[in-house]
Structure formats: structure tokens, C-alpha cells
Structure 1
Amino acid sequence: MKHALVLVAVLLGGCTLFKTKLEPARAPVAVVKPAAPALLDANGTPIERVPFRTGVSSATVEKMAKGQGCLGGQGAGLVTEAGPVEVYRMRCEDGALRGKVFTARCELRQCVKM
């Protein structure tokens, strides 16, 4: 009886070798994000979007903006490349300057409102 069970197990295990052809692996599909609609100014010129980046003087500019009545969601973002002279921009989403943009120029971490 033991030999019969072993024989059945071997035969059932060997059946998996005789399956039909295996399908080839499919290549991964790239996910494409839809393009954001282009923003245009009053003259029809496209407006460039700058990604939000923090800089060494972001906290300083945020404090300056708060003193002027500008409170923002993301805070002050670096608009130019990092270096000795940097320009920061902060959207005022709340406070006295709601809907406005606060900008500041920082040279060697000394910031001045623009």
C-alpha cells in the first residue's frame, strides 16, 4: 500500500512537467501622467511653473511674510538656484495679504522684501 501511495505521488508530481506552453513574460508598461493644461498670461504667453523647493533662508522669509500679514500653506519656496543670492516666493493663502504673493531676495542669508 505504501508503494502505491508513493507511486501516485510521483506520478501526480510529474504531471506538472507536461503542461502546455508557458506564456512569455509581458514587458512592464510605463505609466504616463496627463500633461497639465498650460497657463497663459494676458498676452497669451505660457506661464512657467516652478516646483516647490526649500532653501537655507526659507524660515527667515516665512517670518518676514508673517510680519507683513502673509500666511501660507507650503511656506517660502526657492525660485532661483541655491547660491549666495537667492529669491524666495510664498503664496499668501490667509491673512491680510490673502491671494497675493510675497517675494524676498536673500544675499548671504540677509533677506529683503522685494
Structure 2
Amino acid sequence: MKRLLVLAAVLLGGCAMVKSKVEPAPVAVQAKPVQGQLMDANGAPIERVAFRAGVSSATVEKLAKAHGCTGGQGAGLLTEPGPVEVYRMQCENKKVFLARCELRQCRQM
């Protein structure tokens, strides 16, 4: 009797495997560039980050001014707010000033 139950379980388990379909692996689709979108040297789209002020924006702006970077909207927060934040500021001379602030202590990157 035990052998019959084991045999039935094996047969039913095997039947379930035969009926299941194997899904094909997803194919990577390359995003088509939008008209007027900026591209890097490899053809990948460049993401635009909206300006967001953070708790250390004023500190980073003063630090940038001390390093000869003035103008623009000011220092915008790139990362999520938290103990470690990264700020970006566009200078008048088209250079970019980056700063890393850890617990509101900021340094140029």
C-alpha cells in the first residue's frame, strides 16, 4: 500500500512538471532617446536632476564662494536628506562645484 502511494505521488509530481511552461528570460530593451535629450559619449541619456535645497545649502554656497565659484541657483541637494548629503552648484564659469556634508560638516569633493 505504501509503495502504491509513493508511486502515485511520484507520477503526479512528474505530471505537474510536464504541464508547467518555462517562461523565456526578459530581453533588455534599450530606451530610445527623446528629441532634444542630452546624451553622453557612449550614447546613454543624461538624467537631469531638479533643484532641491537642503539644510546645508547655505554652507555649501559659502564654501563654493571661498573656492571661486559664484552664481547660479545655489547649492542643490543631490542625495536623499540624511546624515551624509552631497550638494552640487553650477558656477558662472560653467564649472561644477561638488561638496559632501556629513552631519552638517561640509567639504569640497
Interval containing the TM-score (normalised by the shorter chain) = 0.5 to 0.7
What stretches of structure 1 of length at least 5 have no aligned partner?
1-34
Structure 1 residue ranges (4+ consecutive) displaced by more than 6 angstroms after TM superposition:
none
The whole-number CA distance in structure 1 between the counterparts of 2:35 and 2:70 is 27
Listed one character per residue, the Cα deviations across residues 86-111 of structure 1 (whole Å, up to 9, x for unaligned) are 00000001xxxx11000000010000
Paired letter, 1:45? A
Q: TM-score, normalised by structure 2?
A: 0.66
The whole-number CA distance in structure 1 between the counterparts of 2:105 and 2:68 is 20
How many residues align structurally? 76
1:6-85 equivalent positions in 2, closer than 5 A: 37-85=36-84
Structure-1 residue corresponding to 2:99: 104
The whole-number CA distance in structure 2 between the counterparts of 1:75 and 1:36 is 28
Identical columns (%): 74
Paired letter, 2:46? I
RMSD: 1.3
What stretches of structure 2 of length at least 5 have no aligned partner?
1-33
Paired letter, 2:62? K
Larger radius of gyration: 1
Listed one character per residue, the Cα deviations across residues 49-100 of structure 1 (whole Å, up to 9, x for unaligned) are 000000000000000000000002200000011111000000001xxxx110
